[in-house]
Amino acid sequence: MRTIGDRLLREKAGFKQGMLFDFYPEGEGPDKPKLAQLHGPSHFERSLMESELNRRVQRVAMQLLGPKARFVSDSFFHKPAHTEAVTPWHQDEAFTDPRIEHREVNFWFPLQPVSLTNGCMQFIAGSHIGPVLPHGPIGGDPSTHGLECVTGFNAGEAVVCPLELGDCTIHAGRTLHFAGPNHSDAPRYAYSMVFGLPRRASKEVRSFPWNDNRRLSRQARVNDSRTRDSFWPYLSRKVREFDYTNPYEWRLGAERVARLIKGKRTAG
Ligand SMILES: O=C(O)CCC(=O)C(=O)O
């Protein structure tokens, strides 16, 4: 996994598509990320989907969520050596569309031993059963991909989780988590896999205002990759990800197409 992650990050796989980005403002360009995330590496390296790890995690996800649990996404994370950059406190659900109920678990595998020295994960116990707390873009910068939780918890209660190679932590969509700076001489790599139940409409009326008016620096790359020569790879990725068995996904898909057509008409 480490060799694959290293190669994909070195080749800057996914940068053009906005799938490789920095959690922090991207001012210094793709070569000097503070915390690089490659979202969806399995689209670039299909063997990740056929790995023994993937099969085993699928089985554990089914034990946790039930037989309908399916693979949702994966990511590689790279935190360079000697960096003060932290992965700020956040809940993964804060990144999502509040109209949709996400019932997901995230398996986080460090690709070397991790401790407080190189940025192991830390969690707030019990936060997974609480609400999604207020978040904002890191440092209030709307171009930043990363979100940070701004209130409603006590970081002094963090449970620190050092791990050996081959261990993992598992957190839910609302589990508050954080990873500290990397004070070691080597980069800190991690691979994560998210498994979830079929998405459905949220029963609560919720809003995540921190996701409005964001001007993500990677958005221009995302838009470009959906219009130009990479449109077909984009479409094939979407087709591969689509959950055909879930009627709610068909409804979301139809709404999306309707929005696209309306947008084109307005533009025309
Ligand atoms: O690896 C990291 O520093 C962050 C990982 C994370 O936030 C996640 O997997 O949800």
Query: For every one of its 268 residues, what pLDDT tens digit does the chain have, with 9 covering 90 and above?
Result: 999 999 999 999 999 889 999 999 887 666 788 999 999 999 999 999 999 999 999 999 999 999 999 999 999 999 999 999 999 999 999 999 999 999 999 999 999 999 999 999 999 999 999 999 999 999 999 889 999 999 999 999 999 999 999 999 999 999 999 999 999 999 999 999 999 999 999 999 999 999 998 888 888 888 888 776 667 777 787 888 888 899 998 999 898 888 878 776 655 4
Atom 4 of ligand 1 has which residue's CA nearest to it?
A: 87
CA of 178 to the centre of ligand 1 (A): 7
Q: How far apart are CA 110 and CA 129, in angstroms?
A: 25
111 Cα: distance to centroid of ligand 1 (angstroms): 13
pLDDT at 28 (0 to 100) = 61
Q: Is 106 in the pocket of ligand 1 (CB under 6 A)?
A: yes
Residue 158's nearest CA partner among 126, 123, 116 is: 123
Pocket mutation for ligand 1, best pick of 37, 87, 175 (most atoms within 8 Å of C-beta): 87
Ligand 1 geometric centre to CA of 264 (Å): 37
Number of domains in the chain: 1
58 sits in which H/E element: helix 52-65
Domain assignment of residue 62, given as a range: 2-267
* Angle in degrees, CA 177, 181, 184, rounded to 5: 130
Is the CB of 192 inside a 6 Å radius of any atom of ligand 1?
A: yes
Position 267 scores a pLDDT of 52
Ligand 1 neighbour 190 (Cβ under 6 A): yes
Residue of 82, 75, 77 lying closest to 112 (CA atoms): 77
Count of alpha carbons within 13 angstroms of residue 130, beta-carbon side? 13
Nearest to 14 by CA among 222, 248, 190, 256: 222
pLDDT of residue 30: 62
- For residue 161, count CB atoms less than 10 angstroms from its CB and return exposed for 0-12, middle for 13-18, buried for 19 or more: buried
Is-contact 87 23, C-beta < 8 A? yes
**Cα 77 to middle of ligand 1, angstroms:** 7
Return the CATH number at 111.
2.60.120.620
pLDDT of residue 262: 77
